[in-house]
Each structure stands twice: as C-alpha cells, then as structure tokens.
Structure 1
C-alpha cells in the first residue's frame, strides 16, 4: 500500500484579467473570476514514512551514491567538474534545454551564439554555487543559487521570490483550467522557510528527505522561472550537506531522464498525499546515475589510455599533463590551457600542435573567440552519456 502524506489543500482566489491582447490577438475577457490555488501543508516537523520496500530501496541507493563517490579516490579532483557539468546538462534536458557537450564547453569559454548552451553553462555555475552553500540550506542560499542560474535571463528576476501568480497549464494568460496552480505569492516565503527547515534536519533517511524536499520545493514553485533547475541544485546541496557525497556531484538528474513523464506523475502523486512514487523515482534515478557515471569514467580511462599510444614524448614533458587536462576539459583555448598547466602561452602552442598532429586534438578558428582546440573522443563519450540518460530501462539492482 502506498504511504500517505498530507495532501494539498486549496483556496479560492479572485483572478482579474488584464484585458491586454494575447499572442493570438484575442483579449482576455473582462471581469473577475475565481481560481483554486494550492495550499501545501507545512512539513518542517513531519516524519515521512514511505513503505518499507521503498525505504529500503532509498537506503540502498544512498549507499551506492556514497560508494561511487569513494571509488574515484585520488581522481576525484579531476572528475568532479566533469560530473558536475553532466548533472547540469541532464537537469536542463528535463526542461527541454538541450545542447551537445561541445557547445556547452564552448559556452564556458565565452561563446554566446547558442542560447541553450549558455543557459546550461549557467546551470553548471548554479550547481557549483549550491554545493558551495551546502552547509547552509537557507532561504538566502537558495536565492543565491537562483541568482546564479538566472543571471543570463533578462525576462525574470534572478535571486528574487516571485510576487505574482504562476501555474502549469495550457494557457499563458490565465490560471483557469490549469493542471496545477502554485500557492499565492504571499505564502511563498513562509512555505520556503518551512521546506528548508525540513531539509536541514538530521534525523531522517537522507534520500527520503531529499526526495520530499524536492517535491515540496517544486510544489511551492517559489520563482517565476528556473524552479526545476534550482530544485535539482538544492538536491545536490542536500546530498553534500548530509555526507552522502563528499567529493563529486553524482548526476542524479540524468537518472530522471529515463522517464520524465514518470517524474511529473510522481510530483502529482506527492501533491495528492502519496510519498512512495517520488521517493522510489529518486532512488531509482540515483542507481541509474551511478551506473551511467561509472560507464562514463571507464570510457574516459580508455580514451586516455589510447592517447598514450598515439603520443611520443619524454616522461617529463608537459604534454602528458595536457592529455590529463583534456580528459576533463575537452574544449579549450591556449589561454585556458596555459593557465591550467601553469605555463606561458608561448610554451603551450607547441604542445597543442603536437596533439593535433597525433590526432588527439582538432583545431578550429571560431568567430570572435580565436583558435579553439577540441578532443572529440571525450566529447563523444559525454554525448553518449547523455544519450544513455534518455533511454528507458530498469534501475540497477543491488546484490
């Protein structure tokens, strides 16, 4: 039997249309109408109790996340940024923001020609900010996450709670008939503080706590845009704060990509008072993420090994350090390479030319960016990781 949780209540709110023409050149009808807005329960002091089966699955998934984090050992520092980017890209794909790995790395170097890639790069910065603030989990830290995420979006107010009504539904001009109408804006500060009080507790199973916090956050919908990406950043902050992950960002959002419809159904079930669907989905997503990330790390090891057979150089040559860098930074310019290797730019160019001649790198002059070098072997592995994330399949079963 599915575990229960306090369901949403609702309140009737007057909606006064603006009367302005819509995109279809039809004006909203004049006159006041009434819609029903969600009133989520306060959860700060509640104890979630999913079914024994789902609770056990969540505990297994939590252990698997910790095990993967520890497995990388001395490689953590190198792989952590790459896995963070993978999580940011996957989180963005859930909201139909797609870009290949090459575009995202290019956006991080300053290429603003592709809007989706620029937004995904911003999502990476937001998740990094979330992890930096993991010990706080306060309203201020969430506002900082959102401000970082939305810094490049002039249509919304980065780092500010909404002061208007939002909803999910067919019409962009009215909440009438919407699939879900979020709480009125006056309730948002109190609801968010209560949600984060729940998130800071240390007496709950962590993955259950993270799943409930995420579902409650998305129900509150505290911002006019960027709620999903901010909420998933908050999940990563919780995993770090609770010690489930200590060094890397496991791409849990990539696990959710296997069935985005199920993700939305689980949120709907949570709002109806059912805990099991969102907890189960979070646990299964975590298991898929670990399996997928392990495959990615193995493929990158193979890429690095293959490069060693193509390149000849003295054992103390900086070219080997450049190869190590390219596994985790597969698109770069000479300035970035010089900075990361602590070399003068004039000393980097011969290394880059050698790797072009060896077939490790490809060189291209980009508009307004100068010459860019890319390692296609790594980019293909990252795009394969994203493709696997979008395939439906069974979660890894632990023995």
Structure 2
C-alpha cells in the first residue's frame, strides 16, 4: 500500500502512515504561486500589528482549538504560545534541535525528545484507527526534511508556514504538544517572514472551529494521495476570510 508500513502490536497487524518527503516535492511550484498571490494581497492591505498579534496568540489556546486525545497518558497543561513563537521567529534556520527547544518551551523540559512509541487516533488499537503516525524510526529523517522545507525560500513564507503546520501534525514526533508546536511554527514563520499580525491566529481559529470537517478531509488527501492542493487552498481561504474584516 502507498505510504504505508506494516507493523504489529500485541500480535495484531496494522499499517502506519509514512508521510511524503516535502523538501524536494515538485507539486508545490503551482501552489506556491497561489500562496504568493494571497501573501502579496495581504501585505498590500495590512501593516505590522505586533501588540495585537501577541494578544491574539495568547488567547488562541483557549478559544476553540480542540484537544485531540490520543491513546495514552495525560496531556500537559496548555501554556502561552508566545515564548515558543518567539523562538521560531528568532531562528534564522530551523533545525531538529531547534524544534525540540520550541517543544520544550511549550510542554516543559520533562517532555523533550521525540517519541519512541507508536501513536494513533480514533480507536483503542491502531488496526482500526483512522490515523496511525509514522513509526519512530522515521521521525529523524522526516523532521530534517520538514526543517529543510520550512526554510527553503524558493517557496513563499505563507506556503511554507501552512504546509509545515500540517506536516508536523502528520509526523506527530512528540508524545504530547504536537498541535501547539505546529501552531507555533506557523505563527513564528508568518510573523518573522511576512509580518506579525492578528490575522494569522484568527486564520487558525477559522480552520479549527468552522472548517474542521474540511480540514480533516484535506488531511486525508495528503495522507492517501500526496495531494496538498485541497489543504493549501483551504488554508489560503481561511487567511483571506480572516484578513477581509480587518480591511474594511
């Protein structure tokens, strides 16, 4: 099966997902043009709004972003995203070590280090789960690829930020805090390379709160078809919707 690895847990076979490497993927050339058009449109109408950006980011984790409960343990308490966003914004080049530092800022030093156990969502056993994250052995290579893509300036910042968010969720490299880390990466890249503005956290709210079903479907297209177009267009639509009321 495409993008699958056969594994066994408690004597029962199941398939885990192996995400496509994105750093060299040619399909982003066309999507980059679409994302760049939205990015340029945004910059033509909006200027830096750092204080409002920080306030919006501080309220993001308690404003409708759902928690996805996995099959193990307790989730760490939610904290402000701003220290993690600041780390991303100040990093000239993202690395696996830098990702671990950002993750530590979100969940605490006791939770650092990539996971060494399988994780899945939607069922007691991965054989019936709707999503099974890649085997731990794949994580270092996938994170290196993610970091390469996130800092590749051949793609515009908005495309890199949005794709990095979902790819991090698909890799699910840590036992906890992956959702917060993905949002911190998106917000940090957008703030550093476009401009700090409350539109970015508002776009995330729209995606999770009002477009959750569409987001889930778009992630399945990435999982099953290596097709990022529906997800990227969904994300760009959320950015436009979030930015338009501010423009009036």
One fold, TM greater than 0.5?
yes
Which residue in 2 is equivalent to 1:142? Answer: 99
Task: Tell me how far 1:286 sits from its aligned partner.
Answer: 1.2
Task: State the distance in 2 between where 1:8 and 1:231 align.
Answer: 25
Task: Tell me how far 1:167 sits from its aligned partner.
Answer: 0.6
Superimposed CA distance per residue, residues 40-70 of structure 1 (whole angstroms, 9 cap, x where no aligned partner): 222222233476xx65542332124434551
TM-score, normalising length from structure 1? Answer: 0.53
Which residue in 1 is equivalent to 2:72? Answer: none
Which residue in 2 is equivalent to 1:203? Answer: 154
Verify the 8 A CA contact 1:39 1:183 in the aligned structure 2.
yes
Q: Does 1:62 align with 2:19?
A: no
Which residue in 2 is equivalent to 1:220? Answer: 171
Task: State the distance in 1 between where 2:240 and 2:24 align.
Answer: 29
Q: Does 1:162 align with 2:162?
A: no
Q: Measured at CA, do residues 225 and 65 of structure 1 come closer, stay the same or move farther in structure 2, by a change above 3 Å?
A: farther
Three-state SS of the structure 1 residue aligned to 2:126 is coil
Task: State the distance in 2 between where 1:284 and 1:79 align.
Answer: 22
Task: State the distance in 2 between where 1:122 and 1:78 align.
Answer: 15
Of 119, 123, 126, which residue of structure 1 is paired with 2:84?
126
Three-state SS of the structure 1 residue aligned to 2:212 is helix
Task: Tell me how far 1:226 sits from its aligned partner.
Answer: 1.6
Q: Measured at CA, do residues 88 and 269 of structure 1 come closer, stay the same or move farther in structure 2, by a change above 3 Å?
A: same
Higher relative contact order (CA 8 A, sep 6+): 2
The 5 A counterparts of 1:362-381 are: none
Which residue in 2 is equivalent to 1:244? Answer: 194
Which residue in 2 is equivalent to 1:85? Answer: 58
Task: State the distance in 2 between where 1:188 and 1:78 align.
Answer: 36
Q: Measured at CA, do residues 151 and 275 of structure 1 come closer, stay the same or move farther in structure 2, by a change above 3 Å?
A: same
Q: Measured at CA, do residues 78 and 55 of structure 1 come closer, stay the same or move farther in structure 2, by a change above 3 Å?
A: closer
Task: Tell me how far 1:87 sits from its aligned partner.
Answer: 4.0
Task: Tell me how far 1:128 sits from its aligned partner.
Answer: 3.5
Which residue in 1 is equivalent to 2:231? Answer: 278
Task: Tell me how far 1:188 sits from its aligned partner.
Answer: 0.6
Three-state SS of the structure 1 residue aligned to 2:139 is helix
- Bigger radius of gyration among the two: 1
TM-score, normalising length from structure 2? Answer: 0.82
Task: Tell me how far 1:194 sits from its aligned partner.
Answer: 0.9
Task: State the distance in 1 between where 2:107 and 2:46 align.
Answer: 29
Three-state SS of the structure 1 residue aligned to 2:27 is coil
Of 76, 95, 103, which residue of structure 1 is paired with 2:66?
95
Task: Tell me how far 1:82 sits from its aligned partner.
Answer: 1.5
Instruction: Tell me the matched-pair count.
Output: 238
5+ residue gaps, structure 1, are 1-6, 17-31, 98-115, 299-399
Task: State the distance in 1 between where 2:238 and 2:29 align.
Answer: 17
The structure 1 segments of at least 4 consecutive aligned residues displaced by more than 6 Å after TM superposition are none
Query: Root-mean-square deviation (CA), in Å?
Result: 2.9
Task: Tell me how far 1:193 sits from its aligned partner.
Answer: 0.8
